[in-house]
Amino acid sequence: MSLRVPQGQIVAVIGPNGAGKSTLLRAICGFLPPRRGCVRYCERLLTGVPPYRMVELGISYLPQERTVFPHLSVEQNLRLGGWHFRRDRRRLQQAVERVLGLFPMLAARRRSKAGDLSGGLQKILEIARGLVPEPQLLVVDEPSVGLAPMVAREIYEILQRLRAQRLTVLLVDQNVRAAVALADYVYVLELGRNRAEGSRQAFAGDLQATIKAWLQI
């Protein structure tokens, strides 16, 4: 697998179930060591760097699984996102307030328990928490899984706004049409290998054929 994510763009990785998409993201973020090859970020070698160091380097990872702390408030969840700011309380509070300003629906519920939020708002909270440490790269795994179509569209609108702010995004999602429509560049993964790659325009007109080919694997 060979992958490049240019600064300020959204790069989508699509492919059938079991292609290795989530495994790829875990390897990039230090949860799985690559058997060979390497991972580089801004010319820095990431291979062997533990996951907890990624935030310090400017990388936020949003896994597919739910990761909110349900018994903590929305604001407390956000403060945990800025854990490495903990010795600078003023900076941490400024980061939390900045993110709440981006997500009025969370600001209105800042004292509510995260577990009382809808599934869609919990996903938005996860994205917001990932933005508190002011990352340069957001790695997102299946952001729309299990969500109603209207909520999934809202998640993609958020990602589009983040791109407008020059945040770099690496995205994996089974919602292929939405992922391709949003992305600047697309990689198709099959059994852990590049099957195809190209700009959004290169895939937009041929998605049906691409998906049909997956069913024949």
- On whether both 139 and 202 belong to a single domain, the answer is yes
- On whether both 196 and 139 belong to a single domain, the answer is yes
- On whether both 139 and 216 belong to a single domain, the answer is yes
- On whether both 42 and 95 belong to a single domain, the answer is no
pLDDT confidence tier of residue 95, bands split at 50, 70 and 90: very high
- On whether both 80 and 28 belong to a single domain, the answer is no
- What pLDDT, on the 0 to 100 scale, is given for residue 40? 92
Q: How far apart are CA 202 and CA 53, in angstroms?
A: 36
Q: How far apart are CA 17 and CA 27, in angstroms?
A: 17
- Write phi, then psi, for 139 (nearest 5 degrees): -105, 115
Number of domains in the chain: 2
- What pLDDT, on the 0 to 100 scale, is given for residue 208? 64
The distance of Cα 51 from the centroid of its chain, to the nearest Å, equals: 15
pLDDT per residue over 50-87, tens digit each? 999 999 999 999 999 989 999 999 999 999 999 888 88
Mean pLDDT on 142-148: 87
pLDDT confidence tier of residue 205, bands split at 50, 70 and 90: low
pLDDT confidence tier of residue 217, bands split at 50, 70 and 90: very low
Q: Beta-carbon neighbour count of residue 214 at 10 Å?
A: 16
- The gap between the terminal CA atoms of the chain, to the nearest Å, is 18
Contact 62, 141 (CB under 8 A): yes
Per the structure, the complete domain to which residue 188 belongs is given by: 1-58+135-217
Please indicate, yes or no, if residue 63 is contained in any of the structural domains.
no
Please indicate, yes or no, if residue 45 is contained in any of the structural domains.
yes
- What pLDDT, on the 0 to 100 scale, is given for residue 206? 66
Q: Residue 109 to residues 70, 77, 102: CA-CA distances in angstroms?
A: 13, 12, 13
Task: Please give the model's pTM, rounded to 2 decimal places.
Answer: 0.90
